[in-house]
Amino acid sequence: MLKSLLAAPLLATSLLALTATAVLADNPMVGGAAMFPTKNIVENAVNSADHTTLVAAVKAAGLVETLQGPGPFTVFAPTNAAFAALPAGTVDNLLKPENKDALVKVLTCHVVAANALAETVQGMIQADGGKHVIETVGGCKITASTEGGMVVLTDEMGGKAKVTIADVVQSNGVIHVIDAVLLPKM
């Protein structure tokens, strides 16, 4: 009896470790880094080598505290290459203190106040006949559709971004990595 009482906490700890490992194994790597479902969006994003520009922009916009909050949030996270594809000088201009409002607008057009996994987004697209309009925290409307089996987001300017890595689970939502920056009408 004493042996089984002593073994119970060890068994519980082992099961918890196995569960955490299984969840982590299901979470994709992003930018060469493990993404932990127990960490929030900012805590994970800072470890991605592919998202240094996004992290710098979130800091400059003063959105760190918000994205560390309880959420839930769905973040469509552009890579460094996505930011680099913008016209020359765009990122540097947006990062200037006098352009903080425009930067906040651009960034919040990548955030939805919901925890929308890929299956949910694809279901909404299908239910709406192939296109689903998503309203973002920034008040932008992005249109989700599918092309070649991939989810594609079309911004208010007609630009398109493909989801390249879906369902990166966070403690306060989910990240979907995208290959272009979504731009609002300004």
- Count the Cβ atoms, other than its own, within 10 Å of residue 181: 26
pLDDT confidence of residue 74: 95
Which contiguous run of DSSP H or E holds residue 74?
strand 73-78
CA 148 to CA 157: how far, in whole Å?
A: 22
Asked if the peptide bond before residue 72 counts as cis, ω within 30 degrees of 0, the response is: yes
Q: Which residues pair with 170 in a beta bridge?
A: 173
Stated length of the chain: 186
Run means of pLDDT, 10 residues per run, the chain, 186 residues: 40 36 63 88 91 93 91 95 94 93 94 94 94 95 94 96 95 94 90
Domain parsing of the chain, residue ranges: 2-178
E strand segments, 81-179: 111-112, 131-135, 141-147, 150-154, 160-170, 173-178
Pick the CATH number of 2-178 from 3.40.50.300, 2.30.180.10, 2.30.40.10, 3.40.50.10140: 2.30.180.10
Q: Quickly list H helices, the chain.
A: 2-26, 41-45, 52-60, 64-67, 80-84, 90-94, 100-108, 118-127
Taking Cα atoms as reference points, which of 12, 7, 94, 22 lies closest to residue 53?
94
